[in-house]
Structure 1
Amino acid sequence: MREKIHIYHTNDIHSHFEKWPRIRKFLKERRDLHEANEEDVFIFDSGDFIDRWHSFTEGTLGKGNVALFNDAGYTAVTIGNNEGLTLPHDVLNHVYAQAEFDVMAANVYLPGGTRPSWALPYQIYKTSRGTKIGVTAATAYYRPLYKLLGWELSEPIAELKKQISDLQKQVDIIIVLSHLGMHDDQTIAEHNPRVDLILGGHTHHVFMNGKKVNHTTLGAAGRYGEYIGYVEAEIDTGPFLWKKFTASLFETAILDNPPNAGEYIKELDAIGKELLQTEVVTLPQPLNYSWQEHSELPAILCEALYKWCKGDCALVNSGLILSSLEKGKVTKYDLHRMLPHPINPCLVELTGAELEEVIRKAEDSALSELEFQGLGFRGIMMGKFVYHKIEIENNNQSIKIAGKPLIPEKIYHLATLDMFTFGVFLPPIKNARRKIYYLPEFVRDLMEWELKNRYI
């Protein structure tokens, strides 16, 4: 007997709740429609739903996001690097405690090789007509960073191969939830012909009508809730197994918006703001910022980075600072609004020649005026670079480190941001021979630490 199964999927929403009321309404209505026709519905997410740039996520430490998934009726999700690397170990270990959906992350382990209780290697679902659907998942292979947070990761493609091998003996359909990126998804499809559907994320790619790789359909819905993915699966299990998968996307912006959407979105921010009212310091005077000129707050952050990482010098971009601090009480909400980025401190080892190349590049106005988002940066533009223990003299002809002339052959330790080790903005940092990451602290935690040192 031929059966029709409806699969909806999201990925990389990154706590962009401005579209969530439309997504929630759409998913609930579609589920009701299909179930009224006695057809099965599954809703999946492929990671990076929890992003601590939003006050609601920060205030609830991701538990609020879990409640939103519960409310929308998700079947299963996997974690992205934002869940895995921006939540401290104990927080991630408990964030899904109230989840009414399955969480799958086949390549996430505890040290020693046991699986955390919340991370399933796979799950098997059975439709009302008896079709068995096996779902497995894996997240991006940032193994060194996960180790710093007390997790162990197995290589995702090899791990998925094991799970697929196990599932193919038990199910009619195999689905992979992947937070690995477009190129790894294609590799999985090329080497695992029994996989029917890969629902991908991480690289924020868009497949408007899916993508076929041999017998496998790939689906992807971009980022920030701009699209909702939909796959109509048709299957006939006998006497010969026949399957067909048709993928498409719904553009969220043109979907019906609930009448109370604006109030709903404001309420999420209000909840976060209320939870972040803890006082940090009381300032005797306001602290300001600028993206074009030297200003107080970027300089304070740069000095904090220098002290925290115990570097020889430090470098940050002023575009990190998104608001000033007024005289008087400063709360965690104020610091979050000023520095919402899930960006960690980092210490890199460079030769003097490499450090000089970094500084020369940082002084390029084209870089300081660059507008971008990604790599943890949740601001608008890079902004003027700010230094601590770095002096540029004689019309940019000479550079001093801690008051002494830069020596090209000498090894220096530069305190900076982890995003520069992942991006292409400053190549010597990206290619540094040694990098030390500081997790789970964000730049706003360093700012809090430095302000307390100065004003308490």
Structure 2
Amino acid sequence: MERIHIYHTNDIHSHLENWPRIEQFLKQQRKQHQDQDEVFLFDIGDFIDRWHPLTEATMGKASIELLNECQYTAVTIGNNEGINLPHDGLEQLYAASKFDVLAANLFQKNNQHPDWVKPYQIYRTKSGIRLGVIGLTANFTHLYELLGWNLTEPLNELKKWITAVKEQSDMVILLSHLGLRDDERIAAEFPEIDVILGAHTHHFLENGKLVDNTLLAAAGKFGYYVGHVTIVLDSKNSIQDKQAILYDTKELPAALNEAQIAEAFLDKGKKLLNERVTTLTKPFLSDPFKETEFSLFLCKALREWCHTECAMLNAGLLLGPLSGDVTEFDLLNICPHPINPCVVEVTGQELTEILRESMDKSLHQKQITGLGFRGNELGLFVYDGIRFDSGEIFINGEKLEPQKIYTLALPDMFTFGHFFKGVLPHKNKKYFLPEFLRDILKWKLKTQS
């Protein structure tokens, strides 16, 4: 019998406060197993998140150093690596990596894989057992195209490679930044795959999940858990047993000076982002449930950047005030969201419906996780180029016409169908990438200064 240990992380999202303990644990486990058993270590994407100052300041490269130090075997990319970095940022992200980057459905515009990407890799244990490992990332095709990449449909790409990988392997492992529903579908349709290590939907499977004969494993989000899959093979290299467990990070042994290490990550990022953007002569105050000069300023900046007739955004995007000397770190601190500007064309009648939905007070109080939002409550909506008077709507001083076409700028999170159920999910959208809302705020502040 031979035993193989696979440790896996996913969706860390730059929550480096948990990293010292995770790193210590992974190094200890590798040392414990290495004399008798084989150890492989995989990350399944979204390790980085640009809310963290060190991630923002280094465009994620500091995270690659952390993965190198833990001797990761391979990673796949998540959407935070793929579409929250500009093209050059992703192109350079893994320049110093000592591990493989597996992403079978990511291509350059010439339909060739980037030099730093492999669709799959075959790993061998000391006894010669072969692990075929494939990587796939979430299918945000249009957004990747806007950043200069080609992304293919993941299951089609899997069909292309699975036979060749199976022929070269004693077991097949998929690194899937696709989400639980797709993982379950893949397990049912591709019995050749022995283990799927999952991510993206932040699901955690305490003891894994068997779909037919495929074992699914996933470790939640933010480094709250570390996953461990154990595979036992007989002398003919046939799998006899496979088990998945999760380790709760808060129950792992504390690392020496772990709080100070995590704080040092933050401090280093703050120092790197200490460049002054502007100096304010009066403070900008924020309140998620009041229309403030600050929220109106950002909304106006959004409309001007996108060259639209009107704009709307939620005041909860601003997490704090600005005053005096404003630095790059200050902008990140009060607007940490990886949210891009977006433009839609709507009729006056459709715009009326959108504005009516935006005034729902229950929507303002809604607590949001995901979709790039890094705050708490959504907050009320503020508008630019839109005025309400005696029950009527005016666009740039002219009464709204129901059949006229208007251009509306708004944060991209509102176009995905989670908030505005009627019009927006079905409209054509123009997304502006790689600019985040804080980039628009910075641009407006600099032009004002």
For this structure pair, what is the TM-score category when the shorter chain's length is used for normalisation? over 0.9
Give the 5 Å matches for 1:47-446: 47-238=45-236, 241-327=238-324, 329-394=325-390, 397-428=391-422, 430-446=424-440
Q: 1:192 to 1:419 in 2, by over 3 A?
A: same
In 1, Cα distance between equivalents of 2:423 and 2:432: 16
CA drift of 1:411 comes to: 1.7
Quote the residue 1:25 is aligned against. Answer: 24
RMSD over aligned Cα atoms: 1.2
Partner of 2:110, secondary structure, is coil
TM-aligned CA deviation for residue 423 of structure 1: 4.2
* Aligned counterparts of 1:317 and 1:355: Cα–Cα separation in 2: 16
Q: Is the 8 A contact 1:349 1:432 kept in 2?
A: no
Note the C-alpha offset of 1:118.
0.9
Q: Distance in 1 between matches of 2:52 and 2:301?
A: 24
In the superposition, the TM-score normalised over structure 1's length comes to 0.96
Deviation at 1:237, TM superposition (A): 4.5
Q: Per-residue deviation at 1:192?
A: 1.0
Question: What is the CA–CA distance in structure 1 between the aligned matches of 2:425 and 2:406, rounded to whole Å?
Answer: 15
Q: Tell me, yes or no, if the aligned pair for 2:8 and 2:43 is still in contact at 8 Å.
A: yes
Shift of 1:241: 2.6
SS in 1 for 2:369: coil
Q: Which amino acid aligns with 1:360?
A: R
SS in 2 for 1:431: helix
1:38-69 CA distance string (max 9 Å, x none): 21111111111111011010011100010111
Q: CA deviation at 1:80?
A: 0.4
Deviations 1:420-442 (A, max 9, x none): 11241112454242100000000
CA offsets 1:376-410 (integer angstroms, 9 cap, x no match): 0001110111100111222xx22211112222222
Output one character per residue of 1:100-137: Cα deviation in whole Å (capped at 9) or x when no partner.
11111110000121110111111111011111001011
Q: What one-letter code is carried by the residue in structure 2 that aligns with 1:241?
A: S
Query: d(CA) in 1 for partners of 2:235 and 2:417?
Result: 48
How many residues align? The count is: 449
The answer (yes or no) to whether the contact 1:175–1:199 under 8 Å persists in 2 is: yes
Q: Following superposition, which runs of at least 4 residues in structure 1 exceed 3 angstroms of deviation? A: none
Percent identity, aligned pairs only, is 48
Shift of 1:233: 0.5
The one-letter code of the counterpart of 1:292 is F
Q: Which segments of 5 or more consecutive residues in structure 2 lack a partner in the other structure?
A: none
Deviates more, 1:240-249 or 1:76-85: 240-249
TM-score normalized by the length of structure 2: 0.98
Q: Distance in 1 between matches of 2:235 and 2:403?
A: 69
Question: C-alpha distance in 2, partners of 1:293/1:111?
Answer: 45
Q: Give deviations 1:305-331, integer Å, cap 9, x for gaps.
A: 10111111100001110121112x211
Deviations 1:233-256 (A, max 9, x none): 011242x73332101111112111
- Alpha-carbon distance between aligned partners in 2 of 1:392 and 1:315, rounded to the nearest angstrom: 13
Give me the whole-angstrom Cα distance separating, in 1, the residues matched to 2:162 and 2:240. 18
Contact 1:421 1:429 in 2 (8 A): no
Alpha-carbon distance in 2 for matches of 1:392, 1:46 = 48
Give the drift of 1:159. 0.4
| Letter of the 1:361 counterpart | E
Q: Secondary structure at the match of 1:217?
A: strand
How far does residue 91 in structure 1 lie from its aligned partner after superposition? 1.2
Which amino acid in the other structure matches residue 323 of structure 1?
G
